[in-house]
């Protein structure tokens, strides 16, 4: 194995001392980040084996409950508020599955399609000979105008078609949203950002940084570092197959560092793999490197902060179940799994006890009262049912 070079203690000038201190600071922060990443990886691995199956089973049960409720949609005995409550319940389940990070692939899409087929099937029971008065037609025009600002673009006959066939309205809505609204908003945002003061300032800063790096890499000391490293790490000079493979990997890192103008990596490798090295950098190069090291330190700090926020599945799990000690983590995992199993039991109970209209109407009534008890209540929410579940 290719060994790193242990260097004897050296006496440095004040400028070199600052360089050494900043270097030690960066190494410490890198070790901190690596240790934290390892903790996240270990927790994610245990989550996959111990909890993920229960999360997926939870999704399956949510879908089963939604399908069970869909089977009641064609019943004629619902009052208007009961039907609205039933649909809100189904849609809440579907929305939960759409946003659930562990929902089996395709499940929410299939369920959403089944729901809309059932919904359109109920709506299509309207007699095609039914007449819609001017007030109903105007309400549809106002709805389209509010959503798309184009209500006047449709004739009364077209609006009546929308009223008779919600599938036709839904198709037009999806097409409009996808092909028109989203694209125009995205283009507008991109154009605004490209011309913003912040973006222009960032571009100017990048140009200055590139010039600074180019000048730095033209410095003879860094060229010398690179050449000495390339000579020591070149795999063609190694006979041992294992060392040859290791040097080949290191040489690839070195070449990439030069391509990326990554002075930090080149100097790190130089200190690790070149025996009795003495960088002997002049004051100008040392000053430039100190700036780069400060930027590197700030970047490592940003990476550490990003690891702590749920912008990935792994970090989301850490936010929910991570802790300072193994005991804390195990306790959180046990509590989360317990909550999942309780929610599964509740879902199974709802499915098995609502085989007829009477118990279903009782639940619909309870849900209606809960939703309207406070103006801040979550419409159609499964908050109580999914207590302890991941916030998404």
The model's confidence at residue 381, banded by pLDDT at 50, 70 and 90, is: very low
pLDDT score, position 293 = 78
Q: Which carries the bigger pLDDT value, residue 308 or residue 314?
A: 314
pLDDT band at residue 379 using 50, 70 and 90 as cut-offs: very low
**Which residues have C-beta within 8 Å of that of residue 181, sequence separation ≥ 6?**
148
pLDDT at position 111: 95
Report the range out of 43-47, 159-163, 179-183, 262-266 with the highest average pLDDT. 43-47
Q: Assign 279 a pLDDT band (cuts: 50, 70, 90).
A: low
What pLDDT sits at residue 8? 47
Tell whether the model's pLDDT for residue 56 goes beyond 80. Answer: yes
d(Cα 224, Cα 251) in Å, to the nearest integer?
A: 16
Q: What is the pLDDT of residue 275?
A: 66
Compute the C-alpha angle 203/208/212, nearest 5°. Answer: 145
Token pair in block for residue 187:
């283009």
Q: State pLDDT tens for residues 108-126.
A: 999 999 998 888 766 555 4
Give the HSE-up count for residue 219: Cα atoms under 13 Å, Cβ half-sphere.
Answer: 22
The pLDDT value given to residue 157? 83
List the Cα angle 182/166/128 in 5-degree steps.
150
Can you state the percent helix, strand and coil of the chain, rounding each to 5? 75, 0, 25
Model pLDDT for residues 5-16, shown as the tens digit of each residue: 554 444 455 666
pLDDT at 266: 80
Annotate 265-290 with three-state secondary structure.
HHHHHHHHHCCCCCCCCCHHHHHHHH
């Amino acid at each position: 194995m290719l060994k790193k070079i242990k260097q004897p203690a050296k006496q440095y000038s004040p400028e070199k001392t600052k360089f050494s201190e900043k270097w030690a600071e960066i190494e410490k922060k890198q070790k901190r980040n690596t240790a934290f990443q390892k903790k996240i990886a270990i927790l994610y691995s245990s989550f996959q084996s111990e909890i993920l199956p229960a999360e997926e089973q939870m999704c399956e049960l949510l879908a089963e409950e939604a399908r069970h409720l869909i089977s009641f949609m064609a019943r004629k005995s619902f009052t208007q508020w009961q039907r609205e409550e039933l649909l809100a319940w189904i849609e809440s389940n579907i929305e939960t599955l759409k946003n659930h990070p562990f929902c089996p692939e395709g499940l929410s899409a299939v369920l959403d399609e089944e729901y809309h087929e059932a919904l359109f099937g109920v709506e299509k029971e309207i007699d095609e000979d039914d007449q819609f008065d001017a007030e109903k037609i105007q309400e549809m025009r106002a709805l389209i105008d509010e959503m798309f600002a184009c209500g006047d673009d449709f004739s009364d006959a077209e609006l009546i078609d929308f009223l008779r066939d919600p599938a036709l309205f839904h198709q037009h809505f999806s097409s409009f949203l996808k092909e028109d609204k989203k694209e125009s908003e995205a283009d507008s945002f991109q154009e605004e950002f490209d011309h913003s003061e912040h973006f222009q300032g960032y571009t100017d800063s990048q140009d200055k940084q590139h010039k600074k790096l180019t000048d730095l890499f033209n410095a003879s000391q860094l060229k010398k570092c690179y050449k000495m490293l390339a000579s020591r790490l070149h795999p063609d000079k190694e006979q041992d197959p294992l060392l040859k493979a290791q040097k080949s990997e290191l040489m690839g890192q070195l070449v990439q560092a030069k391509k990326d103008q990554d002075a930090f990596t080149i100097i790190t490798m130089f200190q690790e793999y070149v025996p009795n090295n003495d960088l002997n950098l002049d004051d100008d190069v040392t000053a430039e490197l100190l700036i780069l090291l400060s930027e590197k330190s700030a970047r490592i700090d940003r990476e550490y902060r990003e690891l702590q926020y749920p912008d990935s599945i792994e970090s989301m799990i850490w936010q929910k179940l991570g802790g300072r000690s193994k005991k804390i983590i195990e306790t959180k995992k046990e509590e989360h799994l317990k909550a999942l199993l309780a929610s599964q039991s509740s879902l199974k109970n709802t499915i098995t006890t609502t085989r007829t209209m009477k118990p279903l109407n009782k639940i619909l009534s309870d849900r209606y009262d809960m939703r309207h008890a406070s103006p801040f209540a979550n419409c159609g929410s499964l908050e109580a049912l999914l207590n302890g579940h991941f916030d998404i």
